[in-house]
C-alpha cells in the first residue's frame, strides 16, 4: 500500500532529527538498534537481522524503501531521510558487523519439503548456499518470523521491490514457505 | 525515458588502473616447461596443435575438435585419473582448462585462477581476485576460464573487470573496469585474444543492461573498440515468424502503439554476449551470438524486434563495425535466446556445394547452419528435444510451453568432427511454465518481467545429440538421466567426452554414440572438457564442481585422465 504524501510527512515529523545536513552516524545507529538490536539480535521475531548482512543489499534496500519501491510503514519513512552517501555509510557499518547466532528449530519433514521448493524455484541459481553475496542477501541463520513474513509478502504482492520473486513465491504453497523459513533459519552461517 | 542511464554509463566509462597489490597470489615450486610465451601463430594454428589447448573452445573456429588420437575408441576403456587437483572454492565450475606447454590454467567461481603442472596437478600459482562490493550473477558465481597470449593470462570478473596476470607468477599486471556493476554488468565468460586485442562481451540480460562486445589492448588494457549489441534503432522489420517459420503471436499493432508512446527501448534492452566469439582471420570477422532482451518475459515494455537480441552477429575484427546478422527469435518473451558459442566450419549449402558456414545450437533445440558470408540461414536441424505449443505467450497465471527457458542447448559449447561432418550438442528437457508480470526498470536489479518455473511433477532429462550439419538430420542421440549443461569435446580418436550433473563423466564413440567409458567424478561434471599432450602422453581434463543453476552437487575438483600403462 502506498502512503499518502501527507501521512509520510507526519511520520517524518515524528522521527528523530536525521536531516541530510546533520547526519551523525552514531545517532542514526542508535535509532536502528532500537529495532535491529544492540548486539544484532532484533527486538521482534519478525524483524530482520541486518548485522553482517551484505553491504550492497542493505544499501539497495534502504534506497528501495526510500523510493517506496519496497513500501513499508516502518522502514520507508526512516530510509527516506538518507541520501545515497548516508545510506552507503549505514550499509557499510552493518555489513562490517558479526552476524548473530539465533535459535531456530526444524520440524519433521521440513528438509525434504524445502529442498523440493528450492529445486522448483531454481533458488540456488542466485542464492547458492544462502550465505549472501553483494546484491544477494544472506538468508542462512535469518530470523524465521521475518523469512516467513517477507516470503509471504512477495507472494501476496506486498513486497514489490524484487518483482520476480512474486511469481516464484506464488508457485509455493504456504506450508512449503513455512518449511523453507525454518530450513533457512537453521542453515549454518559460514 | 531513463535519461540518467546514459549519463551513468558515461561516468562509468572505462578507467584503467596500474598493477595493484590488492590481490593475493602465491608462487612456489619448480616449473615444468618454460612457460613459453604464446605467439599469435600458435593461437592461429591451434586447430592442428596436438600438444596444447590454447582457446576456450579449442581454436579460433571453436570446433572443440582435438587433433590427437593416442586416446581412441579401442583403448579409451583404459583411461584412468592421472591426478586430481582441489581448488579452494567449492562451487559451480564452468572452466575450460587451457594448456600451454605443460602448464594448465583453470578458474573457479568467484574468480580464483590457478596455474598447475599439467603432468602432475601440482600448483604453480594461485590468484584470487580482490572482488569489489558490487557483483552480479543471475545463474551462479561462475567463471568459464582464461585466455592466454604472450606471457599473459586474461580473466573477466563478477565485478565487471578485465584483469591481466603474469603467466609465470600469477601477479596482476593491470585491470580495467569494463562497465558499471551497479547497473548489472558483470563477466563470466573467458575472454578471447587476437593479436593485440582481448575480446570480451558482458552478462546482464536479466538486469536491463545495454549489451556489447569490446576489444581491449593486451598490453595496457585500454579500450580499442566497442560494438553495441543494441543499436539505437532496435525496432527491425516487425517479424511475425521465428527463423524456422513459426508464428510467434506478436500483437504488432499494440507494439507499434507502445513504440509511439515510449520510444525505442534500446537503453535497457539487454542483449548480453557471454560466450566466446568465433574468429575468422581470413575475412577478419568475428561471429558471436547475442542473448535475450530485458526484461526477459515482458514484451510490453520493449516494442519491436529488439535487435540484435537472440541473433547471430558478425562484426569486423579490427573496428567492431557491423557486418551481418540473423535474428532467430524477434521480440523473444521466453528467454530462449542464443548462447552456445558459434562454430566456423565448411558446410554444404542448399545446392550441395561446400561453403564456409557457421553453426549455432539454440535453446530452442535446433542446430542452425548459416552461410558465413552474409549470416543467412542455410538450414536448421530436427528438434533435439520435445517442442510443444511453440509459441505460446506467457500469461499472468503461467503458460506451459516446451522447451523450458534453459533449452534445448544452454551455454554449453558444441564440438564437431569434420571427418564425420557431425556436430555434437548436449541438451536439456525441463518442462516449465512462463509467467509474465510487468514492472518498470528497477535500476540495475534483477528484471525478468515474470518468471519461468520448473513444473515439479514433470520428468526432466537430457541428451547428447549428433547432428549432420550438411542435412540437419539427427545422426544419433543418447538419453541422459538429468538435463545436460557444461559442454563437450570431440577428438581425432573417434571420441566425444561430456559430463553429467550426477557426476558421471563419459566417453562415447563419436560415429554412433556407443558409450565406451565412464568415471564417477564425485560432483557434477558440468564444465567443458579439454585435452592436451605432454611428454608424449595424451590427457583429457574436466572440472567437476556441479552447477548452481540446476542445483547439481557442488565440488572443487579438476580431474586429468590418461591411459593406464
Give the ipTM of the model, two decimals please. 0.77
Shortest CA gap B511–chain A (Å): 35
A5-95 under CATH 1.10.760.10, yes or no: yes
pLDDT band at B35 (very low <50, low <70, confident <90, very high): low
Sign of the CA dihedral A95, A99, A105, A109? positive
Which residues is B103 bridged to in the sheet?
A: B100, B117
Query: If you count them, how many residues does chain A have?
Result: 190
Measured between CA atoms, the residue of chain B closest to residue A170 is: B397
What's the pLDDT score for residue B200? 98
Give the sign of the dihedral formed by CA A17, CA A20, CA A23, CA A25.
positive
Mean pLDDT along residues B447-454? 91
Q: Are B289 and B311 in contact (CB under 8 A)?
A: yes
Give, in order, the Cα–Cα distances in Å from B414 to each of B45, B56, B344, B423.
Answer: 20, 12, 12, 7
DSSP codes, B427-461: EEE--EEEEE------TTS---SEEEEE-TTS--E
At B533, the pLDDT band (50, 70, 90 cuts) reads very high
Q: Which tens digit of pLDDT belongs to each residue from B220-262?
A: 999 999 999 999 999 999 999 999 999 999 999 999 999 999 9
Instruction: Specify whether the CB–CB gap between B203 and B193 falls below 8 A.
Output: no
Enumerate residues 6+ apart whose C-beta is below 8 A from B401.
Answer: B334, B388, B389, B390, B391, B392, B432, B434
Tell me the fold of A110-186. Answer: Cytochrome Bc1 Complex; Chain D, domain 2 (1.10.760)
Q: Please state, for a pLDDT cut of 70, what percent of chain B lies above it.
A: 94
Across the interface, whether the CB atoms of A125 and B548 are under 8 A apart is answered yes
Nearest Cα residue in chain A from B455: A120
pLDDT of B447 over the 50 cut: yes
Decide if B442 and A166 are in contact by the 8 Å CB cutoff. Answer: no
Q: What is the tens place of the pLDDT at every residue in B5-24?
A: 333 333 333 333 333 334 44
Its sign, for the CA torsion B526, B532, B534, B539, is: positive
- Supply the pLDDT for residue B516: 98
pLDDT of residue A90: 97
Position B31 confidence tier, pLDDT thresholds 50, 70, 90: very low
Task: Answer whether A5-95 and A110-186 agree in fold.
Answer: yes
Q: pLDDT tens across B369-394, in order?
A: 999 999 999 999 999 999 999 999 99
The pLDDT of residue B1 is above 80: no
Reply yes or no on whether the pLDDT at B475 is more than 80: yes
A164 in contact with B at a CB cutoff of 8 Å? yes
Q: Is A163 part of the contact surface with chain B (CB cutoff 8 Å)? A: yes
Check if the beta carbon of residue A100 is closer than 8 Å to that of residue A51.
yes
**pLDDT the model gives residue B36:** 66
SS3 assignment for A60-71 = HHHHHHHCCCCC
Q: Using 50, 70 and 90 to split pLDDT, how confident is the model at B25?
A: very low
Strand ranges (E), B1-122: 16-17, 24-27, 65-66, 79-86, 98-100, 103-107, 112-117
Pair type for strands B488-491 and B65-66 = parallel
Long-range Cβ contact pairs of A26-35 (< 8 A, separation 24 or more): A28/A82, A28/A86, A28/A90, A29/A90, A29/A93, A31/A78, A32/A90, A32/A94, A35/A74
pTM of the predicted structure, to 2 decimals: 0.89
Q: Where are the domains of chain A?
A: 5-95, 110-186
Q: Is residue B335 among the annotated active site residues?
A: yes
Would you call A167 and B398 a contact, using CB atoms and an 8 Å cutoff? Answer: yes
> Using the beta-carbon criterion (under 8 Å), do A128 and B138 form an inter-chain contact?
no
pLDDT tens per residue across span A27-73: 999 999 999 999 999 999 999 999 999 999 999 999 999 999 899 99
Amino acid at each position: 500500500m502506498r502512503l499518502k504524501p501527507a501521512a509520510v510527512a507526519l511520520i517524518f515529523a515524528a522521527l528523530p532529527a536525521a536531516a541530510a545536513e546533520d547526519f551523525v552516524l552514531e545517532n542514526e545507529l542508535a535509532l536502528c538498534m532500537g529495532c535491529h538490536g544492540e548486539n544484532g539480535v532484533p527486538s521482534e521475531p519478525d524483524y530482520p537481522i541486518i548485522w553482517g548482512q551484505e553491504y550492497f543489499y542493505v544499501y539497495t534496500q534502504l534506497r528501495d524503501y526510500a523510493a517506496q519501491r519496497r513500501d513499508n510503514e516502518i522502514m520507508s519513512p526512516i530510509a527516506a531521510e538518507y541520501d545515497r552517501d548516508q545510506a552507503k555509510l549505514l550499509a557499510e557499518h552493518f555489513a562490517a558487523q558479526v552476524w548473530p547466532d539465533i535459535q531456530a528449530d526444524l520440524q519433521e519433514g521440513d528438509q525434504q519439503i524445502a529442498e523440493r521448493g528450492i529445486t522448483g524455484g531454481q533458488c540456488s541459481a542466485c542464492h547458492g548456499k544462502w550465505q549472501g553475496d553483494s546484491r544477494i542477501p544472506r538468508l542462512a541463520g535469518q530470523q524465521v518470523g521475518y523469512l516467513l513474513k517477507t516470503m509471504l509478502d512477495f507472494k501476496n504482492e506486498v513486497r514489490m521491490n524484487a518483482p520476480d520473486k512474486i511469481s516464484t513465491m506464488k508457485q509455493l504453497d504456504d506450508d512449503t514457505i513455512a518449511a523453507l523459513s525454518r530450513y533457512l533459519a537453521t542453515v549454518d552461517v559460514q | 525515458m531513463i535519461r540518467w542511464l546514459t549519463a551513468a554509463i558515461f561516468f562509468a566509462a572505462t578507467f584503467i588502473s596500474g598493477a595493484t597489490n590488492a590481490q593475493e597470489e602465491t608462487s612456489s615450486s619448480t616449473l615444468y616447461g618454460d612457460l613459453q610465451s604464446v605467439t599469435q601463430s600458435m593461437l592461429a594454428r591451434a586447430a592442428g596443435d596436438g600438444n596444447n589447448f590454447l582457446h576456450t573452445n579449442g581454436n579460433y573456429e571453436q570446433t572443440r575438435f582435438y587433433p590427437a588420437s593416442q586416446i581412441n575408441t579401442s583403448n579409451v576403456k583404459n583411461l584412468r585419473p592421472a591426478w586430481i587437483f582441489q581448488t579452494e572454492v567449492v562451487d559451480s565450475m564452468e572452466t575450460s582448462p587451457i594448456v600451454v606447454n605443460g602448464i594448465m590454467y583453470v578458474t573457479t567461481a568467484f574468480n580464483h585462477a590457478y596455474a598447475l603442472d599439467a603432468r602432475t596437478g601440482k600448483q604453480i600459482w594461485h590468484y584470487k581476485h580482490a572482488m569489489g562490493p558490487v557483483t552480479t550473477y543471475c545463474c551462479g558465481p561462475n567463471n568459464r576460464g582464461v585466455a592466454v597470449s604472450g606471457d599473459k593470462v586474461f580473466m573477466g570478473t563478477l565485478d565487471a573487470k578485465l584483469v591481466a596476470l603474469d603467466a609465470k607468477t600469477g601477479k596482476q599486471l593491470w585491470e580495467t573496469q569494463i562497465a558499471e556493476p551497479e547497473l548489472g554488468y558483470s563477466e563470466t565468460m573467458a575472454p578471447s585474444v587476437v593479436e593485440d586485442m582481448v575480446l570480451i562481451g558482458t552478462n546482464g540480460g536479466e538486469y536491463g543492461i545495454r549489451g556489447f562486445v569490446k576489444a581491449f589492448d593486451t598490453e595496457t588494457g585500454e579500450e580499442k573498440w566497442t560494438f553495441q549489441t543494441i543499436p539505437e534503432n532496435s525496432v527491425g522489420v516487425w517479424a511475425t515468424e521465428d527463423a524456422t517459420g513459426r508464428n510467434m503471436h506478436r500483437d504488432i499493432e499494440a507494439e507499434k502503439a507502445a513504440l509511439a508512446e515510449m520510444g525505442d527501448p534500446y537503453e535497457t534492452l539487454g542483449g548480453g554476449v557471454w560466450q566466446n566469439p568465433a574468429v575468422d582471420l581470413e575475412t577478419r570477422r568475428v561471429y558471436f551470438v547475442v542473448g535475450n532482451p530485458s526484461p526477459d518475459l515482458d514484451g510490453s515494455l520493449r516494442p519491436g524486434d529488439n535487435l540484435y537480441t537472440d541473433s547471430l552477429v558478425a562484426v569486423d575484427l579490427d573496428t567492431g563495425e557491423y557486418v551481418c546478422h540473423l535474428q532467430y527469435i524477434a521480440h523473444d518473451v521466453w528467454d530462449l535466446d542464443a548462447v552456445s558459442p558459434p562454430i566456423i566450419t565448411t558446410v554444404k549449402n542448399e545446392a550441395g556445394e561446400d561453403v564456409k558456414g557457421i553453426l549455432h545450437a539454440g535453446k530452442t533445440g535446433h542446430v542452425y547452419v548459416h552461410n558465413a558470408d552474409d549470416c543467412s540461414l542455410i538450414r536448421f536441424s530436427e528438434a533435439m528435444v520435445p517442442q510443444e505449443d511453440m509459441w505460446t505467450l506467457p500469461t499472468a497465471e503461467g503458460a506451459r510451453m516446451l522447451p523450458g527457458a534453459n533449452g534445448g542447448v544452454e551455454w554449453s559449447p558444441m564440438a564437431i568432427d569434420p571427418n564425420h561432418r557431425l556436430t555434437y550438442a548436449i541438451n536439456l528437457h525441463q518442462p516449465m511454465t512462463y509467467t509474465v508480470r510487468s514492472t518498470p526498470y528497477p535500476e540495475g536489479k534483477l528484471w525478468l518481467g515474470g518468471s519461468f518455473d520448473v513444473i515439479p511433477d514433470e520428468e526432466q532429462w537430457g541428451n547428447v545429440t549428433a547432428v549432420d550439419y550438411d542435412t540437419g538430420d539427427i545422426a544419433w542421440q543418447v538419453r541422459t538421466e538429468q538435463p545436460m549443461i557444461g559442454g563437450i569435446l570431440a577428438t581425432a580418436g573417434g571420441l566425444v567426452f561430456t559430463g553429467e550433473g550426477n557426476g558421471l563423466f563419459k566417453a562415447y564413440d563419436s560415429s554412433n554414440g556407443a558409450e565406451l567409458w565412464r568415471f564417477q567424478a564425485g560432483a557434477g561434471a558440468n564444465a567443458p572438457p579439454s585435452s592436451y599432450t605432454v611428454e608424449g602422453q595424451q590427457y583429457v581434463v574436466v572440472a567437476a564442481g556441479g552447477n548452481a543453476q540446476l542445483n547439481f552437487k557442488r565440488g572443487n575438483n579438476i580431474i586429468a585422465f590418461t591411459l593406464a600403462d
